[in-house]
């Protein structure tokens, strides 16, 4: 990690030597059953604070606690997080005069004092840095007495103890730490962690205002910890939150550690970003886009792999590039978490592997598109904001779709870039509308309107062998769609219709509009929805896949907020809130019955006639 990156903060639960990268080994915790909104008491004497923390740990329900830590988290997303996270422990720092007093306070709170206290190297170093003291003067110990949750599940109270003898000058530290509770935090275990699950959990925490705040991997315990600063509106007294995942997830950790760097830049000792440095990091966002595009164009991912390191000079020779410049690019990509600089050379991380053209779910076409035509058009964002007209049209003299249609190579890249985001479709085939169509016992037809090369329709037909499909697309795209659907063994159950939105075929049972409406302004959306509503039989369903703007887009981080700007600059379209889509649907006699989150910040909206 570069010297100016946000540091990886090791976890205090396992006090390994200072040069190790520790993390918190915590037991798998089942979901508690009883919701209790108790709050810890951050002030007061040690016995009071220990008692409040112990009561808090014993009483909390994971689902309720998550909703309090992340205000606005509810519905399916809260259920998904609760299924994957278990409240594991809360931590408190106390200041006994000696070990006897500590044991007495623990016993008074019903906590076992049998296990010996171990030195806490990490918290000692943090206290020394915060208060400008010699670490050798700070005797900090750690204990983890087990308590039981509402359903008798095992949890822990993580107790850090700084010994403060009577009359000691350390009493100033104790008073300051009691007032601010810097070391207090909540911890959640991740059940059945894998990279996709972890990325989804981390994205959910970020989306609801939690800021990435370090982490670490402990090879001795084979566990990875991810730290967050709680959002400003959190409804608990805890300001730090951690997620613990068993196993080696350093690729995901590298992305997590890069987030505060990219979002905020280096921080002051208080953790508050320095405004000038934060702005500088924000201004370098264009460099990141071009670095990723250059990586893809040069073929660096093909010249690397995730298992064997390659020397920078050898990589430069392989791809035909300037050695020193290649090394500079690789250092930057390492900072971004796209490659790792291992002792034997550079390797792809899981993120970087997505830039390989043959990787499952490859996002290389997106890198080339965002680093190419869309990058150029974003140079005219000021024109878009001033005039309301797409920067793309201002640059190229024609709209996005006409320009691509005249350039077969560019059109193919665009279609491939759309397919690169197909991971958002993974949960869609299990949508109740589609499972109900299968269970009906009679032939049902799914109509995918402007369905591209058939990525989504192929997944639906694969998951539901009794369904048939109709793909409506431009003539030049249908050939690629036939090839794709035939290769996936579902082409025989699909009809292909060449046309535009006025040619929506009638008589289907389920209609799908996936990432279509956001391409257009409201007037054109009304026309598209009108054609669909006219074609839909009375009992047909409509599924709309889009990113949804949060109701308060300025307050809540969201991919849709970024894409809203992108759509306005490049297509003249926009992202919308669920309520906005609901109003457009109502104009055509369709009722929005609900929406469900998908991957990559997307949602599927369900509409039908009342």
* Tens digits of residue pLDDT in 259-318: 544 444 434 333 444 678 778 888 888 999 999 999 999 999 999 976 678 889 999 999
Candidates 373, 372, 351; CA nearest to 362 is: 351
Alpha helix segments (H runs only) across 299-431:
300-303, 312-319, 323-336, 350-353, 364-370, 373-378, 381-387, 391-396, 400-405, 408-420
| pLDDT value at residue 556 | 57
Task: Classify residue 416: in a domain, yes or no.
Answer: no
Q: 329 and 445 share a domain?
A: no
Q: Are residues 218 and 298 in the same domain?
A: no
Residues 261 and 140 grouped into a single domain: yes
Contact 15, 218 (CB under 8 A): no
Place of tokens 């570069």: 2
What is the mean pLDDT of the segment spanning 494-503? 95
Residue 32 has pLDDT above 80, yes or no: no
**55 and 145 in one domain?**
yes
* C-beta of residue 90 within 8 angstroms of C-beta of residue 157: yes
Question: Both ends of the chain: CA-CA distance in Å?
Answer: 56
Whether 11 is covered by a domain: the verdict is no
CATH number of domain containing 364? 1.10.10.10
Classify residue 510: in a domain, yes or no. Answer: yes
Which of the pair, 373 or 15, is modelled with greater confidence? 373
Domain co-membership, 258 together with 294? no
Rounded Cα distance between 193 and 170, Å, is: 41
Residues 302 and 357 in one domain: yes
**What value does the mean pLDDT of the chain take?**
83
Judge contact between 95 and 174, C-beta under 8 A: yes
In the predicted model, what is the mean pLDDT of residues 146-171? Answer: 91
* Residue 189: per-residue pLDDT: 94
pLDDT of residue 125: 76
Task: Indicate if 517 and 580 belong to the same structural domain.
Answer: yes
Q: Is-contact 214 185, C-beta < 8 A?
A: no
Question: 185-223 pLDDT, tens per residue?
Answer: 999 999 988 888 888 889 889 888 888 877 777 666 788
**When comparing pLDDT for 22 and 553, which is higher?**
553
Catalytic residue among 518, 588, 603, 606: 518
**366 and 464, same domain (yes or no):** no
Copy the structure tokens of residue 166: 């009577």
Domain total of the chain? 3
pLDDT at res. 30: 33
DSSP line for 515-545: S-GGGS-HHHHHHHHHHHHHHS-TT-EEEEE
* The model's pTM: 0.57
Same domain, 428 and 575: yes
Give the model's pLDDT for residue 28: 33
> Considering the domain boundaries, does residue 41 fall inside one?
no
Residues 308 and 223 in one domain: no
Residue 593, token pair as written in the block? 């019955």
Half-sphere exposure at residue 178, Cβ-oriented, CA atoms within 13 angstroms: 20
pLDDT bin (cut points 50, 70, 90) of residue 12 is very low
- In this structure, what token pair is assigned to residue 545? 């896949």
Q: Is 518 a catalytic residue?
A: yes
Residue range 155-165: mean pLDDT, rounded: 93
- Domain containing residue 585: 422-608
More reliable by pLDDT, 136 or 450: 450
Task: Examine residue 330 and state whether it is found in any structural domain, yes or no.
Answer: yes
């Amino acid at each position: 990690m570069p010297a100016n990156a946000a540091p990886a903060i090791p976890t205090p639960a396992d006090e390994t030597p200072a040069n190790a990268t520790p993390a918190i080994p915590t037991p798998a915790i089942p979901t508690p059953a009883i919701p209790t909104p108790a709050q810890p008491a951050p002030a007061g004497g040690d016995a009071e604070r220990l008692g409040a923390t112990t009561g808090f740990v014993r009483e909390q329900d994971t689902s309720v606690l998550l909703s309090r830590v992340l205000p606005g988290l509810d519905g399916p997303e809260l259920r998904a997080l609760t299924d994957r996270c278990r409240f594991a422990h809360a931590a408190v720092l106390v200041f006994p005069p000696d070990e006897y007093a500590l044991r007495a306070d623990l016993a008074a709170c019903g906590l076992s004092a049998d296990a010996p206290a171990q030195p806490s190297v990490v918290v000692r170093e943090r206290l020394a840095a915060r208060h400008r003291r010699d670490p050798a003067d700070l005797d900090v110990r750690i204990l983890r007495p087990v308590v039981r949750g509402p359903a008798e599940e095992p949890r822990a109270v993580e107790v850090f103890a700084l010994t403060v003898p009577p009359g000691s000058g350390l009493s100033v530290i104790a008073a300051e730490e009691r007032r601010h509770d810097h070391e207090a935090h909540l911890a959640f275990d991740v059940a059945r962690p894998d990279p996709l699950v972890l990325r989804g959990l981390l994205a959910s925490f970020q989306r609801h205002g939690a800021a990435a705040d370090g982490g670490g991997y402990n090879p001795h315990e084979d566990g990875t910890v991810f730290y967050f600063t709680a959002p400003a509106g959190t409804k608990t007294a805890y300001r730090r939150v951690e997620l613990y995942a068993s196993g080696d997830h350093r690729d995901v950790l590298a992305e997590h550690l890069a987030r505060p760097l990219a979002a905020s830049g280096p921080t002051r000792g208080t953790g508050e970003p320095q405004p000038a440095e934060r702005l500088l990091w924000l201004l370098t966002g264009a460099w990141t886009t071009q670095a990723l595009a250059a990586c893809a164009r040069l073929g660096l991912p093909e010249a690397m792999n995730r298992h064997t390191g390659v020397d920078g000079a050898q990589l430069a020779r392989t791809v035909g590039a300037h050695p020193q410049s290649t090394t500079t690019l690789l250092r930057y990509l390492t900072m971004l978490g796209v490659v790792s600089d291992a002792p034997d050379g550079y390797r792809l991380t899981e993120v970087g592997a997505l830039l390989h053209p043959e990787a499952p779910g490859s996002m290389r076409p997106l890198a080339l598109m965002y680093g190419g035509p869309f990058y150029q058009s974003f140079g005219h964002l000021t024109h878009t904001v001033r005039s309301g007209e797409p920067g793309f049209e201002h640059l190229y003299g024609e709209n996005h779709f006409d320009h691509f249609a005249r350039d077969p190579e560019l059109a193919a890249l665009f279609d491939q870039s759309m397919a690169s985001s197909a991971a958002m479709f993974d949960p869609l085939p299990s949508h109740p509308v589609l499972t109900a169509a299968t269970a009906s016992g009679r032939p049902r037809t799914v109509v995918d309107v402007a369905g591209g090369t058939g990525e989504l329709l192929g997944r639906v037909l694969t998951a539901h062998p009794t369904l048939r499909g109709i793909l409506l697309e431009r003539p030049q795209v249908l050939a690629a769609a036939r090839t794709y659907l035939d290769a996936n063994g579902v082409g025989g159950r699909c009809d292909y219709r060449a046309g535009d939105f006025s040619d929506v075929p009638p008589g289907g049972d389920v209609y799908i509009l996936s990432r279509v409406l956001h391409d257009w302004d409201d007037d054109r959306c009304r026309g598209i929805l009108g054609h669909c509503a006219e074609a839909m039989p009375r009992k047909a369903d409509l599924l709309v896949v889009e990113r949804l703007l949060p109701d308060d887009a300025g307050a809540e981080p969201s991919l849709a907020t970024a894409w809203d700007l992108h759509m306005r600059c490049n297509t003249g379209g926009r992202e919308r809130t669920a309520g906005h889509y609901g109003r457009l649907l109502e104009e055509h006699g369709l009722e929005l019955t609900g929406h469900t989150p998908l991957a990559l910040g997307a949602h599927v909206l369900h509409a039908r006639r009342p």
